[in-house]
Amino acid sequence: MSCRYLLTLLCLFCACSNILYRAGGDYFPLNPGCWWKYLSDTDTVYVSVQDEDTVVKGRFCRVVFRNFYPEYWIKGPEAIEKFHVRVTGRPNTEDTLEARFGTVLALPLVDGSSWNDVFRDTIVIRGTDTIPYEHSLSGRVSMVDSISTPAGTFYDCYRVDFTERIIEQTAESTASVLWFAPGVGIVRRQTADDDEVLVEWGTE
Amino acid sequence: MPAISLVSILVTGSINIGGNAGIALPALNLTRYHASAATVGTQIGWTSNRFSLELGYSYAGLPGRPQGVYYLTLHNLTLCAAWEFLHRRSWGLELSLGGGTGFVRRTFGQALETGRAPSLLTGLGFVQQQGRSRFRLAFTNALFLQTPGGRLDASWIPQLRAHISYVL
């Protein structure tokens, strides 16, 4: 009987939940030379981080190529920010609706945490016409998960549910779910019509 | 027979009760989001000549880096054994080894994540005993062990603490 109590006590003391491992984990590595290859139903996506930083809007940022199209990211201690650009076309000219860094992830990731990044502006065209514009991106860490991909099984991943809403002349809303693995980054990206999974990753 | 030996060992020693305060310095990966913080605790110990055994509790609340809405709090229950490798009449230097369990809470605004991690402690300390007061200044390495994906991983939180106890 005493042995059973001792074993129960030992199990209670030894059971761990990897919480400190997650607390110190880098869930969005943006180191120069890092690359990821994803496979979806319709496409292969290559993502890589350029070796040298660049300056956008007076801020140093990392250049990340997603299928050779550049994206600009800033990794700070409190947030991961992305440079959002949106233009509207008119005959012979273009109007910039949005060109700014917005929060994509609030750090550190904690199960249940949520954030919302909202940008509102009114664009004046030809001195008289106005276009109200709004771009919001909200995220919520919905669970700690393990996920299997062709690149392997990743443990202690955070699943983040995103909702992006853009109101220009019409309103459009898109939902996506991303899984972030410590030391790896995004291992799966699921949208309404696509499901990307990590196939390979590494550093050049 | 072993019970009699244990009783005789216990009788020859002394019991002390006290508190401790110090600083917890998160290291390695934990420095990414956590800053150092004050730590406080309490302990009950038994000392006999060069050997001591101590049951302790400590609390540390590590703020986010930079300080904001994020916090990591750590409640640590430990059992440590120490041996004075240098023993003088009223002071000594000791090495300690122990284990325990850490109860961890991470909060980010309203979000809360809780968990537990077994800990391994090693330390080096200076001890001084005068009359009924016992003072110890110790540097302790607390390694919290985890098994992500089946492999062993450790989170390191070194601590510098001053312990003051009353010898009963």
- Please give, one letter per residue, the 3-state secondary structure of A121-156: EEEEECCCEEEEEEEEEEEEEEEEEEEEECCEEEEE
Chain B residues near residue A153 by CB distance under 8 angstroms = 149
- The CA distances from residue B119 to A44, A152, B50, B102, B143, in Å, are 44, 29, 24, 7, 5
Query: A19 vs B106: CB contact, 8 Å cut-off?
Result: yes
Spatial CA neighbour of B159 closest among B26, B33, B42, B46? B26
Reported as a single tens digit per residue, the pLDDT across A90-109 is 777 777 888 999 999 999 99
Chain B residues near residue A108 by CB distance under 8 angstroms = 32-33, 64, 70, 106, 108
Q: How far apart are CA A111 and CA B10, in angstroms?
A: 47
A182 contacts chain B (CB < 8 A): yes
Reported as a single tens digit per residue, the pLDDT across A140-199 is 999 999 999 999 999 999 999 999 999 988 889 999 999 999 999 999 999 998 899 999
CA B168 distance to own-chain centroid? 21
What is the per-residue pLDDT for A11?
A: 46
Q: How far apart are CA B11 and CA B48, in angstroms?
A: 9
Stretch 133-152 of chain B: residues touching chain A, C-beta under 8 Å = 144-149
Sign of torsion, CA A36 A37 A39 A44?
A: positive
Nearest chain A alpha carbon to B100: A13
pLDDT tier for residue B5 given thresholds of 50, 70 and 90: low
- For A80, half-sphere exposure in the C-beta direction (CA atoms, 13 angstrom radius) is 19
Q: Give this prediction's pTM.
A: 0.87
Count other Cβ atoms within 10 Å, centred on residue A166.
Answer: 19
A15 contacts chain B (CB < 8 A): yes
Reported as a single tens digit per residue, the pLDDT across A58-87 is 999 999 999 989 999 999 888 999 999 988
What is the per-residue pLDDT for B67?
A: 67
Nearest to A16 among B110, B114, B146 (CB): B146
Is the CB of residue B126 less than 8 Å from the CB of residue B91? yes
What is the per-residue pLDDT for B149?
A: 84
Chain B residues near residue A147 by CB distance under 8 angstroms = none
Strands of chain B (E only): list them: 14-24, 37-48, 51-63, 70-87, 91-108, 111-130, 133-146, 153-167
What is the per-residue pLDDT for B8?
A: 59
Instruction: Tell me which H or E stretch contains B31.
Output: none
Reported as a single tens digit per residue, the pLDDT across B30-67 is 999 999 999 999 999 998 888 999 999 999 999 987 66
Query: B117 vs A20: CB contact, 8 Å cut-off?
Result: yes
Backbone angles phi, psi at B63, to 5 degrees: -75, 160
User: Which of A8, A11, A14, A20 to probe the B interface (max B CBs under 10 A)?
Assistant: A20
Chain B residues near residue A110 by CB distance under 8 angstroms = 70, 106-108, 111-113
Question: What's the mean pLDDT when you consider all of chain B?
Answer: 90
pLDDT tier for residue A3 given thresholds of 50, 70 and 90: low
A158 contacts chain B (CB < 8 A): no
